[in-house]
Amino acid sequence: MLNLERNILLIGIATALAAVMISGQERDSGSRVYTAQQATAGRSAFQTNCAGCHLADLSGEGDAPPLRGTAFLGAWGSRTTKELLSFIQRAMPPQRSGSLPPQQYLDIVALILQQNGAVAGNQAFTANTEVTINSVVSGQAEAAPDPR
């Protein structure tokens, strides 16, 4: 009887571990909503158009909120990537809102996702990409971007 209980327990643990691994793989494969090339291009566009207010490390200053870390995730984590893109296109840069080429807005969102711990993949971020931000970011900001 003791061996049967032990075997049932081991099977239960193995099943639970397998479920966790499968769940993690599904989340990970679904969370790669931008490419590394987009984030790199986004860094360049951000430095030119956004860093003057949001700072090179995306930490924000004054009226320009942080675009990385807990403050950003508190404001945007439950919203979608499509909502973030739409807001940035409508409101940024100030006094020139909507003036950037569409691809630059996409690339800037890719950079913001990267700087909040989202992992790059093979799927490009597009205007139709719509996932909850908390579902793709780890909440752990990556190293601050090199301002060069």
SS3 category, 61: strand
Of the listed ranges 115-119, 132-136, 144-148, the least confidently predicted one is 144-148
Query: pLDDT tens digit string along 61-89?
Result: 999 999 999 999 999 999 999 999 999 99
143 compared with 128, residue with greater pLDDT: 128
pLDDT of residue 144: 46
Q: How far apart are CA 87 and CA 57, in angstroms?
A: 20
pLDDT cut 70: percent of the chain above it: 73
Q: How far apart are CA 71 and CA 117, in angstroms?
A: 14
Q: Stretch 11-16: mean pLDDT, rounded?
A: 57
pLDDT of residue 138: 86
Answer whether CATH 3.40.640.10 is correct for domain 32-136.
no
pLDDT of residue 139: 72
1 compared with 111, residue with greater pLDDT: 111
pTM of the model: 0.76
Residue 22 predicted with pLDDT over 70: no
Long-range Cβ contact pairs of 64-72 (< 8 A, separation 24 or more): 67/112, 67/115, 68/112, 68/115, 68/116, 68/141, 69/116, 69/141, 70/139, 72/112, 72/116
139 compared with 44, residue with greater pLDDT: 44
Alpha helices in 31-101 (DSSP H): 36-49, 51-54, 69-76, 81-91
pLDDT of residue 23: 43
- End-to-end Cα distance, the chain: 68
Query: pLDDT tens digit string along 23-74?
Result: 444 344 456 999 999 999 999 999 999 999 999 999 999 999 999 999 999 9
